[in-house]
Chains A and B, each alone.
Chain A
C-alpha cells in the first residue's frame, strides 16, 4: 500500500514537472516566418558600415474559394506560395537577425534556407563572416548553396522566378542540375566553401547570379503584380527581372578577385572533374560552330610532375558522349575518319576551354582548381618547402592539358542530312 502511494506520488511529481516545465523551446507554427534565402550586403549609413541582411521569406497565401465552393465540400481551397524580400540592418549579421523582431511579430525560422546570396560589396570585402554565420547557426542547413550576385543581394533576391514559386528554389534547382545539363556553373554549398577557404593551396569559386530584364513581354508563367495602395497598376507593369546563373566568381582568400565566363567555368569544372554533362560545339567542315557534342561520364586525372625544380600539372580528361546535332552535309558517323576528326576537334575545344580557365585563374592569382592542394597531397615534402610562396608560384606553374573524348552514339539518325 505504502509503495503504491509512493509510486503514485512519484509519478504525479514527474507529471507536474512535465507540465510546469512545458514548452521552453516550443515554436508553434503560427509564430514563425520561414525564409528560403538570405542575402548579404554591406551598406554605408551615417559613415558607418553596416550589414544589410535581406531575407527572402515564404509567404503562404490562401486563395479561398467562393461560398459556393465551401458548400461543395470545402476542399476547394488553393494554396500558393510567394516570396517576399525584407531587409534589415545590423552591426553584425546576428544583430540583424535579432533586429528582425523589431519589425516583425514572427520569429525568423532559417532551417529551410537553401540559398546564400552574397552581394558584390561583401564578396569584395571578404566572405569569411558569412560562412561563419552559416556554419555556426544551428538552424541553417549546411547544404545551402552559396552564390555571388551582381550588384546588391537585395536587388538580386527581388528578381521574379519564372518556373518555381520562389527565387531561391529556382536558383537552387538550376545550380544542382547544372552539373548534368550544361556544366557551366558551379554549385557550392556552405561546407564546400568553408573547405576551400580553409585548405591551403585552394581557393573559393562560387556561382555568379545575374538578373536581367527579359525581352519577352508578359511571360505567361509570371503572376500579375497585385495592386498596391489602391493604385491600379494596369498598363504600367514594372519590368521584372529574372534570375540566371552566368559563370563563376573566383576568390583569393576570402575576397573575390574576378569572374570566369561560362566557357571558362566549364573548363574549370573539367579540370576539377565536376563537369558531368553539357554541350561542346565544334566547327566541323565549316568556319562557324555547327556541330554539337553532348559529353557524359567525364573522368579527370591531375598528375603532379616535378622536374628540375619545376612543377608541371598533367591534366588528363577522358570522357564519352554522343553527337546530337550536325549541320547538313557535314559529318558521317558511319565513317571512321569522320569520327576521328570529330573527336579531335572536340578534344581541341575542351583543351582550349581549360586552357582559358587556367590562364584566367593564373592571371587573377586565384587557384580554384586546388593545384596547390594536389601538390600537398601527392608531394608533401615539396609542398612544405614552397607553401609560403605558393601565391607567387601559382601564376607561373605549367599546366599541360590533354583531352580524350569518344563519340559513341549519334542519336536516332547517323549521317547528317544531304540537302539537294
Chain B
C-alpha cells in the first residue's frame, strides 16, 4: 500500500515536473565548443565533418580555383540528398572552375559573390551553428583557404509533390489549388492572390531538432491590433524537440486547452486563407504541412465553406440554412429520437406511433442501448473506411451501411426508425465543411444521448444550455468564439445564417476588421447604365 502511494507520489511529481531535456544546449552530442570559423581550411572541414558525425551523406569536395601559383584551395560541403545537382554544377562548380584571374589582393568573399558566383541565393556566415543549420536545409557551403567566412549557396532541391487539389475541403465551384508540404510554394500560392506590399510574411521557427519553418502572414494595417505580437509570443514560448504537423502547434497555441472545440481554423485552401487575411485575421503556414492555421477562429467560420461566396447568394443562403439544420441534426438527431420514443410519445402522430410500436416490438434493448449500438458501429465503420485503401473504402461503406443496417433490423437488434435516424445523423455530419467541428460534434452526440435517456427533452435542453454556456465563454485570441452571434453584432449577421450579396457586404466584420472598416464602394450594386453612382462617403465608426 505504502509503495503504491510512493509510486503515486512519484508519478504525480513526474507528471507535474517542469519538462527537462527538451532543450539542446552546448555540450550535447553534435555540439562543438568552437563557435566561429578559423582561417585554416582543413581545420574548418574537420570540425564540420565532426559535427555531422556519422552522416554518410555529407559530401566534402576539395577544389582549387584560379590558375598557376596563385591557386587557392576551396572546399564545397553539402548534404547529398538535399542538393539539386544540376544547379550545383551550373551555379557553383562550373563557376569556380572557370575563374581565370584571382585578384592580387587575395580572394575575398565579396569578390567571389561579385565576380564568380552566378547563383543568386548566396549568404555569408561565420559560426558553425549557422553553417551547419544551412547545410541541413540544403545549402552548399563554400569554404575558402585563408578566410574565416563561409559562403552558403542555397541549392536545395524542391522535394515534394506539385500543387494539387484540396483533399478535405472540396468545392464544386472555385479554385482547385491547395497548399502542399512546401512552405515556399504555399507562400507563393498566397502571394499569387494578394499582390500587395501589405502582405507581411514573417519567419518563425519551432522545434529544437526539427527547426520547422513557420511563416506568419497577415496584412499590414488591416490585421487586428496586437494580434501579431500575441501570436509571436505564443509561438516563441514553445520549447519542444520538434513538431511535424501544424496540428501539434495548434494545440500549443490555442486558448482554452481543455475545450472540445478547435479554437483556431485550419484550411488547406489558399483562397480561404486570403479571404480571412482580408478580414483582418492572421495565418500561420508550416513547412511540411499542407494545412494552414487561421487565427483567430470562430464557430461561424467553421461552418462556412469558401464556396458560399462563389455561388449565387440565394443558393448560398439556402445552403447555409441547410447546414445549420444539418449541424443540429448531427448533434441532436439520436438524442431527440431517444427522448421522443422513450419520454414524449405524444409528439408522434398516432399512425407513426403505431408503426414504431410494431417495429420496436421485437427489439429487446431500451432505446438508449439500441442507439448506442448503432452509433458505435457507425463510428467504427467510419474510421475503418478512412483507414482502408481507397479502393476498399467504397465497398466497406456500402457493405457497412446497407448490409449491416438491414441485418440489424432483421436480427431484431435495432428498429428501422433508429437505423434511419443514425444514417441521417451520419450524413448530416458530413455536411459540416470543416473536419475539426465535425469531429467535435461526433463526440458531443454521446453525452446528449445519455442526457436524453435520463431526462428526455429536458435533459437535452440542459445539456444544450451547458454547451452554449461553454461556447459563449470561449475566446480565440481575444475574439469571442461565437461572434457575431454572442456578443451580437447585428451588422455582421448578414454573413452568418445567410449570405448577403457581395455588394451588400460593405464592411468587414466588426471585431476583426475594425482597422479598415470599409471593404468596398457603397454603390456597387449593378444598375442600369443610366443611374449615376453615389459618392464614396459612407464610413462606419
Touch between A and B in complex, CB under 8 Å?
yes
| A residues lining the B interface (CB < 8 Å) | 1, 4, 7, 15, 18-19, 21-23, 25-30, 32, 34, 36, 58, 60, 62, 70, 74, 79, 81, 109, 111-112, 114, 139, 141, 169
Evaluate contact between A26 and B342: CB separation under 8 angstroms.
yes
Kindly name the residue among B351, B353, B357 whose own CB sees the greatest number of chain A CB atoms within 10 A: B357
Interface residue from A58, A81, A141 paired with B346 (Cβ < 8 Å): A141
Q: Judging by beta carbons under 8 Å apart, are B366 and A26 in contact?
A: yes
| Interface assignment of B16: CB less than 8 Å from any CB of chain A | yes
Say how far A304's CB is from chain B's closest CB, in angstroms: 42
Instruction: Name B299-354 residues within 8 Å CB distance of A.
Output: 341-343, 345-346, 350-351, 353-354
A185 to chain B, nearest CB (A): 23
In contact, B454 and A58 (Cβ under 8 angstroms): no
The answer on a CB contact under 8 Å between B456 and A29 is no
Across the interface, which residues of A come within 8 angstroms of B358, CB to CB? 60, 62, 79
Contact (Cβ within 8 A) A111 B453: no
Known: A19-B454, A26-B366, A29-B360. 7 other contacts (CB 8 A): A1-B16, A18-B451, A18-B454, A25-B343, A34-B357, A60-B357, A79-B358
Report the bound CA distance from A26 to B360 in whole Å.
Answer: 15
Q: Is B289's beta carbon under 8 Å from chain A?
A: no
* A2 nearest in chain B by CB position: B16
Residues on B with C-beta less than 8 A from A58 are: 350, 354
- B residues near A (Cβ < 8 Å) are 12, 15-16, 258, 341-343, 345-346, 350-351, 353-358, 360-361, 363, 366-367, 406, 409-410, 450-451, 453-454, 456
Can you sample 8 A-B contacts with CB below 8 Å? A15-B450, A18-B451, A18-B454, A23-B342, A23-B454, A25-B456, A29-B345, A30-B357
C-alpha spacing A141/B347, complex, angstroms: 11
Which residues of B are found within 8 Å of A26, using beta-carbon distances?
A: 342-343, 366, 453
A4 to B16, CA, bound (A): 12
The residue on A at minimum CB distance from B257 is A4
Most buried by A among B258, B350, B353, B410: B350
Query: B341 near A29 (CB under 8 angstroms)?
Result: yes
Complex contacts, B343 vs chain A, CB 8 Å: 25-27
| Minimum distance in angstroms from A140 CB to a CB of chain B | 10
CB distance from A176 to the nearest CB of B (A): 15
Give the number of A-B contacts (CB < 8 Å): 77
The answer on a CB contact under 8 Å between A1 and B454 is no
Judged by DSSP, the binding face of A is mixed
CB distance from A14 to the nearest CB of B (A): 9
If A1-B16, A23-B453 touch, whether A29 touches B357 (CB-CB below 8 Å) is: yes
Tell which of B12, B345, B366, B409 has the most Cβ of chain A within 10 Å.
B345
B357, A36: Cβ atoms closer than 8 Å: no
Quick check: A27 and B342 within 8 Å, CB to CB?
Answer: yes
Complex-state Cα separation, A49 to B185, whole angstroms: 93
- Are the C-beta atoms of B450 and A19 separated by less than 8 Å? yes
Q: Find out whether the CB atom of A111 lies under 8 angstroms from the CB atom of B346.
A: yes
Most buried by B among A4, A15, A34: A34
The CA-CA distance from A139 to B346 in the complex, in Å, is 8
Evaluate contact between B357 and A7: CB separation under 8 angstroms.
Answer: no
Q: How far, in angstroms, from A36 to B12 measured CA to CA in the complex?
A: 63
- Taken together as a complex, chains A and B put the C-alpha atoms of A361 and B292 apart, in Å, by 83
Whether A32 contacts B345 by the Cβ 8 Å rule is yes
Give the one of A19, A70, A111 with max B CB within 10 A.
A111
Whether the pair B350, A36 counts as a contact (CB closer than 8 A) is yes
Residues of B within 8 A of A62 (CB): 358, 361
Closest to B463 in A: A18
Residues of B close to A21: CB separation below 8 A: 454
Q: Name the residue of chain B whose CB is nearest to the CB of A21.
A: B454
Residues of B within 8 A of A111 (CB): 345-346
Return B74 CB to nearest CB of chain A, in Å: 56
Question: How many whole Å from B226's CB to the nearest CB in chain A?
Answer: 27
Query: How far, in Å, is A212 (CB) from chain B's closest CB?
Result: 27
- Whether B258 and A30, one on each chain, are in contact in the complex, defined by CB atoms closer than 8 angstroms, is no
The one of A15, A28, A79, A109 in contact with B366, judged by C-beta atoms closer than 8 angstroms, is A28
Q: Are A60 and B341 in contact (CB under 8 A)?
A: no
Once A1-B15, A15-B450, A18-B450 are accepted as A-B contacts, the answer to whether A30 and B342 lie under 8 Å apart by CB is: no
Chain B residues near A29 (CB, 8 Å)? 341-342, 345, 356-357, 360, 367
